[in-house]
């Protein structure tokens, strides 16, 4: 049976691709490439530094930037049906995704639909942005009995989670910068805490934030660490 691989590409630095990811991409002739607005192919630009894609068949899949669940679900179904067409013909497909396939990845929705239809799906893990950022700052995420809270800057219970006294990783941080500043200014739990973050980690457009007052308008791929 043909396999749908979810291949984690990492945050941006192509040297963070795992050996397993490279092997699967080299062995698979069809690569599914997610993009937004028909132009964002960041994952593809990363693997091009390592993999010869000149003879690969590339499948471009567009993901609309909307929170309308019905629109998204219809799009996921359309994409999964197209992928299943190749699987039915005995052809493996490698679906590449930024970061890790298990952390805020659209691949998870495609994988669910394909698995429900009885197809073999295998996830290839990778380096998520918050681990790469912690390494860049030489900053441990947790020591001893400490805990880590990984959250989205867009989550509905953002305020509640921010008030917990634990180390925090905030992904999709571009929509939460003002709220983060308010918490540091007004909440006692943030006294003595430090914040650091990186936008477009590992890419040519990378921006580093080491202090609260350095944080301004940020892009979608911005992750903050508070500890």
User: Where along the chain do the CATH 3.30.950.10 domains lie?
Assistant: 129-226
Q: Which part of the chain is CATH 3.40.1010.10?
A: 3-124
CATH for 129-226? 3.30.950.10
CA distances from 71 to 4, 29, 66, 68, 113 (A): 23, 30, 8, 5, 15
**The tokens of 189 are what?**
């739990």
Q: What is the pLDDT of residue 192?
A: 83
From the list 203, 169, 173, the residue with the least C-alpha distance to 43 is: 203
- The predicted structure's pLDDT at residue 40: 64
pLDDT tens track for 111-152 = 999 999 999 999 999 999 999 999 999 999 999 999 999 999
Rounded-to-integer distance, Cα 199 and Cα 217, Å: 10
pLDDT at 77 over 80: yes
Interacting residues of 108 by C-beta distance below 8 A, sequence separation 6+? 6, 101, 102
Per-residue pLDDT tens over the stretch 182-214? 888 888 878 888 999 999 999 889 999 998 889
Tell me the pLDDT tens digit for each residue of 105-120: 999 999 999 999 999 9
The number of residues in the chain equals 227
Question: Rounded distance, CA 105 to CA 57, Å?
Answer: 22
Q: Read off the DSSP letter of residue 10.
A: B
Mean predicted lDDT score pLDDT of the chain? 93
Find, among 33, 221, 13, 24, the residue nearest to 135 by Cα. Answer: 13
- The beta-strand segments (E) located in 63-156 are 93-97, 120-124, 148-152
Tell me: pLDDT of 80 over 80: yes
Residue 52 has pLDDT above 90, yes or no: yes
Cα–Cα distance measured from residue 153 to residue 156, given in angstroms and rounded to the nearest whole number: 9
pLDDT of residue 39: 56
Q: Could you tell me which CATH number the domain at 3-124 has?
A: 3.40.1010.10
Predicted TM-score of the model (pTM): 0.91
pLDDT at residue 162 greater than cutoff 90:
yes
- Using DSSP's 3-state secondary structure scheme, residue 62 falls into strand
């Amino acid at each position: 049976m043909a396999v749908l691989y979810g291949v984690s590409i990492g945050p941006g630095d192509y040297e963070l691709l795992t050996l397993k990811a490279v092997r699967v991409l080299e062995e698979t002739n069809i690569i599914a490439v997610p993009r937004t607005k028909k132009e964002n192919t960041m994952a593809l630009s990363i693997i091009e530094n390592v993999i010869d894609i000149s003879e690969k068949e590339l499948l471009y899949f567009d993901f609309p930037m909307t929170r309308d669940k019905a629109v998204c679900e219809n799009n996921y179904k359309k994409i999964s049906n197209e992928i299943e067409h190749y699987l039915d013909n005995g052809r493996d497909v490698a679906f590449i995704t930024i970061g890790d396939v298990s952390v805020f990845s659209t691949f998870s929705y495609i994988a669910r639909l394909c698995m429900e239809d009885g197809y073999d799906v295998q996830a290839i893990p990778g380096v998520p942005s918050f681990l790469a950022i912690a390494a860049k700052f030489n900053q441990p995420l947790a020591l001893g009995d400490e805990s880590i809270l990984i959250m989205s800057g867009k989550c509905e219970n953002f305020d509640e989670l921010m008030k917990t006294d634990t180390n925090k990783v905030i992904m999709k941080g571009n929509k939460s910068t003002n709220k983060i500043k308010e918490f540091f200014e007004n909440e006692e739990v943030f006294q003595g805490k430090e914040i650091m973050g990186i936008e477009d980690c590992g890419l040519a457009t990378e921006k580093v934030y080491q202090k609260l007052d350095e944080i301004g308008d940020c892009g979608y791929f911005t992750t903050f660490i508070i500890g």
